[in-house]
Chains A and B, each alone.
Chain A
């Protein structure tokens, strides 16, 4: 299948973006340097075009019921203007996708899902739709820009009258920004930095992108590719679907017990509850390399007796820490922070230590 272009494809090419097919879309993987872009977000402000993400709207009298059934977190706790990290558990103990649930109004929600899973998720939710629910897949109608970094709020405050300081983490408002009405301004992100994600209709996206860059020029704003997005999220220990979580990993094994609420019933909740009571057999952990080298997906994790105890699910060189970092599953009991492990990198076994998340702790 040919990869689709996102609305601002031309803009990214003009900015020198190296476009690569990712999750069915041609996406900018980098503009200049992964490391430079990473540092720009940690130190200044950067903008990611993540318009490949999927947006589903769920409305009607049965909207909350449907969301409660298909997601693991408790959406009944949301008030209008709040967002919640959640996942769609499957019926066999794994995860269909992770997502953010936005409560837009009474009986009106937006679900934001991973680009690679848009069709899978849509079919999954659609299959469970009831008559009192209207479902809309608006993924192609919306662009999504993540403006992230210590100067993000100053940048965006220049182009909106909405008091951005009042938008607390994981809350949002709909307002005018960059001269465009009804943009969803959400205090969320995937970097560990302060910042906002802006959901804007595709026809207004180019104008908003330009306004954001104009406002951020004095702070050294830069476009940021998917390469740096991955290193930023990995330093924070945030899961990436397809790497750290997938159809076979349970949310409890993945350390997502905090979004798995047994105060309600949901897909596979009985089995997950049993798993919680019995205890999981493996856990997702973060680790840092003490030796020189870089862990990569699918490398073996060993204990100090050189017995395989798990497998790396994500790994990179951390631009902030200048060392190899990663995440992976290890046998329960060997997962505690401070545990010394070995990572099999080609013909060597490199020393590493399991650390508490986030892997990168800000100054």
Chain B
């Protein structure tokens, strides 16, 4: 299982890469493996200010629909438009080309609530 040390995580199986005031968000290798083939990523919240734990989009696998939750309060500043035609990038490169959104972080103190790689490993029972 690929769980990069330098990233932060949530219990909803999202990863977060923080650079300055911007967080890049995607779903983990574990999550994509559990979901199976991702066939549709629907994110229509670009430009919206959304609270932590609220839904920012939906990811659909062949068999299942899963909501995507904001790991931090902020504004969705960018959506990975490549996923519109190539949702399978979430399977093949979850931490790279399969990223989903970028968030302009509103409250940096929330960063402390994110999980480390080691803590996420425990969440998935690794």
Contacts and interface: CB of A to CB of B under 8 A. Distances in A.
Interface of A: 29-30, 33-35, 227, 230-231, 292-294, 296, 316-317, 319, 346
B58 to A, nearest CB: 7
B47 interface: no
A34 B63 contact: yes
B58 A30 contact: no
Nearest to B58: A346
A140 to B, nearest CB: 27
Nearest to B65: A296
A34 B38 CA distance: 10
A316 B63 CA distance: 7
Interface residues of B, number: 12
A29 B33 CA distance: 12
Given A294-B60, A317-B60, A346-B58, A30 B65 contact: no
Contacts of B25: none
14 contacts: A29-B36, A33-B37, A34-B61, A35-B37, A35-B62, A227-B36, A227-B62, A231-B62, A293-B42, A294-B40, A294-B60, A317-B39, A317-B60, A317-B62
A92 B82 CA distance: 52
Given A230-B63, A346-B58, A293 B36 contact: no
A335 B42 CA distance: 29
A316 B62 CA distance: 6
B36 A34 contact: yes
B79 to A, nearest CB: 15
A33 B63 CA distance: 11
A254 to B, nearest CB: 23
Contacts of A34: 36-37, 61-63
A296 B62 CA distance: 10
A230 B60 CA distance: 16
A287 B96 CA distance: 36
Nearest to A38: B62
B50 to A, nearest CB: 15
Nearest to B62: A34
B40 A293 contact: yes
A253 to B, nearest CB: 26
A317 B40 contact: yes
Nearest to B64: A296
10 smallest beta-carbon distances between A and B, as pairs:
A34-B62, A317-B39, A35-B37, A34-B37, A34-B36, A294-B60, A33-B37, A227-B63, A30-B36, A294-B40
